[in-house]
Amino acid sequence: MIKTFSTKSSGKREIIRTFTFILCLLPLINLIILLLFDGLGVNPIEFVIRDLGDWALRFIILVLFMGFLLNMPKFKILFTIRRMVGLFSFFYISLHLSSYVILDQFFNFVVIWEDILKRRYITLGFLSFVLLLPLALTSSDQSIKRLGYKTWKVLHRLIYPAAILAVIHYFMMIKANYTEPLIYAIILCFLILSRISKKFFYS
């Protein structure tokens, strides 16, 4: 009986993980379809870079929101997919950065480095990527065992400053219609405040 229940639970988790994986790929699939059918607009390179960046930020916010929901018993199932969603956030931010390096600058690393140093929104975006890099590299169970859970937990709190930098990067990049980044900023402030209040009242 226990074995049957365990098998059913495992099968359910695999279905959820597979479904989540497909959902997380949909933004990239949509971008490829737009590319194939000439739907990227008058400036396709800018469209690709911005679309990938938008989805990277959405996934970062989603990961943090999932962490908030995990405090509620009804949402414990999110443990099954949160790591995957986190890796997808890094996947999209890597594509965002790669499209800038390859499509926009054609591997001209001198110009890229000058952009990082001189253009503040690129500086902040790059710093966000740097902060997320160790999180992606230590996302496995083996990394938790090697670092120790407490150290691993502290390291993965870097997602908060990374998210803050990403939102500011978005604000500085656009020149009109701040509605979407403002929504992200409000959600992020709520999640950070809820995290601080939880630590203050329950530590």
Structural domains in the chain (count): 1
Helices (H), the chain: 2-36, 44-69, 79-99, 109-118, 120-137, 141-147, 149-155, 159-173, 179-202
Residue range 48-61: average pLDDT? 96
pLDDT tens, position by position, 96-126: 999 999 999 999 999 999 999 999 999 999 9
How many whole angstroms separate alpha carbon 55 and alpha carbon 91?
Answer: 10
Where does the pLDDT of residue 43 fall: very low under 50, low under 70, confident under 90, or very high at 90 and above?
Answer: very high
Is 70 exceeded by the pLDDT of residue 1? no
Q: What is the pLDDT of residue 202?
A: 38
Global pTM reads 0.90
Range of the domain at 196: 2-202
